[in-house]
């Protein structure tokens, strides 16, 4: 199966992606990780990507597609994958479908996790993180120690700069502007599903697993 999870920051995509990866034995493929790996390896694609990014440009669609083609052809993707950060535009979505056809691979299953903006703002504004080990806390659902010292590693617990209310509102607008055309493209496909992300994590997981098991 080839899967993409839609949803604004804070809806729980990362949590669900980890659960799906573990249950179905498929990797989560991050375009950011792919780009960093290619640049580190200093291969031809990596050099081209590095040159574009060094000049402040987005990586060209055809180059991004070549990177993804190489990644999804690796043995760990035989059973499928979860895409993270791609496709981001209508043209990328169309090109990726054509690539899947060419490689005789199944088209994407698209699952949207829906959470109202007001709840997303509440979730992210309440989020705290250990700056040393990355452990997540939440002022509402997983209260950090009163001294704001991580219970796992004794690191400092902080609020990330992009979790303030003003920044979250900006992030939601960017997400809507960037993702709406891609979501509309996939909405007309046979395998587009929208689920309620307000439910507890286990219930959201169960609903997603049911969809994936078909």
Is the Cβ–Cβ distance between 59 and 42 less than 8 Å?
Answer: no
| Residues designated catalytic | 13, 88, 127, 160, 171
Tokens encoding 28: 């989560």
Q: How many other C-beta atoms lie within 10 A of the C-beta of residue 77? A: 15
Beta bridge partners of 64: none
CA dist 144 to 14, 33, 121, Å?
Answer: 21, 30, 19
Q: How many CA atoms lie within 13 A of 74 on its CB side?
A: 12
């Amino acid at each position: 199966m080839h899967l993409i999870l839609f949803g604004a920051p804070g809806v729980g995509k990362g949590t669900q992606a980890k659960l799906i990866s573990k249950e179905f034995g498929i990797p989560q493929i991050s375009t950011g990780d792919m780009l960093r790996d290619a640049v580190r390896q200093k291969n031809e694609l990596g050099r081209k990507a590095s040159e574009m990014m060094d000049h402040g440009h987005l990586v060209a669609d055809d180059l991004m597609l070549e990177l993804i083609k190489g990644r999804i052809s690796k043995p760990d993707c035989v059973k499928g994958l979860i895409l993270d950060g791609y496709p981001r535009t209508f043209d990328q979505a169309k090109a990726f479908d054509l690539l899947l056809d060419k490689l005789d691979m199944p088209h994407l299953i698209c699952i949207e996790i829906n959470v109202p903006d007001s709840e997303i703002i509440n979730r992210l504004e309440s989020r705290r993180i250990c700056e040393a080990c990355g452990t997540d806390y939440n002022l509402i659902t997983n209260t950090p120690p009163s001294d704001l010292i991580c219970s796992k590693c004794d690191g400092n617990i902080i609020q990330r700069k992009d979790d303030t209310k003003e920044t979250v509102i900006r992030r939601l607008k960017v997400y809507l502007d960037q993702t709406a055309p891609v979501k509309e493209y996939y909405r007309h496909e046979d395998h587009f599903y929208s689920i309620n992300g307000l439910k507890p994590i286990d219930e959201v997981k169960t609903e997603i697993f049911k969809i994936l098991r078909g």
